[in-house]
Amino acid sequence: MAAKILIIEDEAAIQELIIYNLQQAGYETVSAENAEKAMSIINNELPDLILLDWMLPGMNGIEFARILRHGERTRLIPIIMLTARTQETDKVAGLEVGADDYVTKPFSPRELVARINAVLRRLIPEASDEVVEIDELRLDPVNHRVTDGNKEIELGPTEYRLLHFMMTHTERVYSRSQLLDRVWGDHVFVEERTVDVHIRRLRKALQLAGKDEWIQTVRGAGYRFSAVATLQAKDSNTQK
């Protein structure tokens, strides 16, 4: 599942340069020349990351970034600002409004791609195309396959995304509501208990590989993915 990147840039030449390079790097791209078009795209297909030009016809990028940060659905989308300016104040203003990084023009395509990679890895690793492999368990976003050694594990779409998220966020407890936000999407109207059901389905699928214990219940808190072998100190006294 290649990350989808929205490019908001009015200069056609630069836009095409970026599109070319991002596609080269394996990203899916959509683009808009102004804020209105950008908004309509965002409403249709939530991008994973937004490349936003500082100067836009009609509305400046800072303003637009602020609007995105206000939107319920768009709040969590990483934003990288493109700016011709190098003033420190602009940098600060950009970061203050919630940009996650910025690139000054002129930029090298390699630098741009590198920064995008970095931001995605940091903020939504499950949206990057990197293979995740833990022990023998391997999830390959490119061919959308999960394997254990040479055995293939079949998962439904939701279980796949859930596993992908968990494998890229291990050793950390996530509440049901956090999982809904990150795996289902922000503020999807779904019962929290639904998470349990999908956890169950995922565990069932992993059971064949004997890896179902990696998905752990943390009572009162949520779920945790952990492949670390820890000697349980239980079963010596907790019995009834």
Interface positions with DNA (CB under 7 A):
156-159, 184, 188-191, 193-194, 196-200, 203, 217-222
How remote is the C-alpha of 76 from its chain's centroid?
9
What mask of x and - would describe binding to a second copy in positions 115 to 154, judged by CB under 8 A? ---------------------------xxxx-xx-xxxxx
Rounded to an integer, what distance in angstroms lies between the CA atom of residue 123 and that of residue 66? Answer: 19
95 near a second copy, judged by CB under 8 A: yes
CA angle 104-108-113, nearest 5°? 90
How far apart are alpha carbons 110 and 180 in whole angstroms?
A: 34
- Assigned token pair, 130: 């990197």
On whether the CB atoms of residues 184 and 199 are closer than 8 A, the answer is no
How wide is the angle at C-alpha 170 spanned by C-alphas 169 and 173, nearest 5°? 90
Q: According to the binding rule CB under 8 A, does residue 96 interact with a second copy?
A: yes
User: Measured from the CB atom, is 189 or 231 closer to DNA?
Assistant: 189
Over the window 64 to 83, marking each residue x when it contacts a second copy by CB under 8 A and - when it does not, the resulting string is: --x--xx----x--------
Residues that bind a second copy (CB under 8 A): 1, 12-13, 16-17, 20-21, 23, 66, 69-70, 75, 92, 95-98, 106, 108-110, 142-145, 147-148, 150-154, 156-157, 171-173, 204-205, 207-209, 218-221, 224, 226, 230-234, 236-238
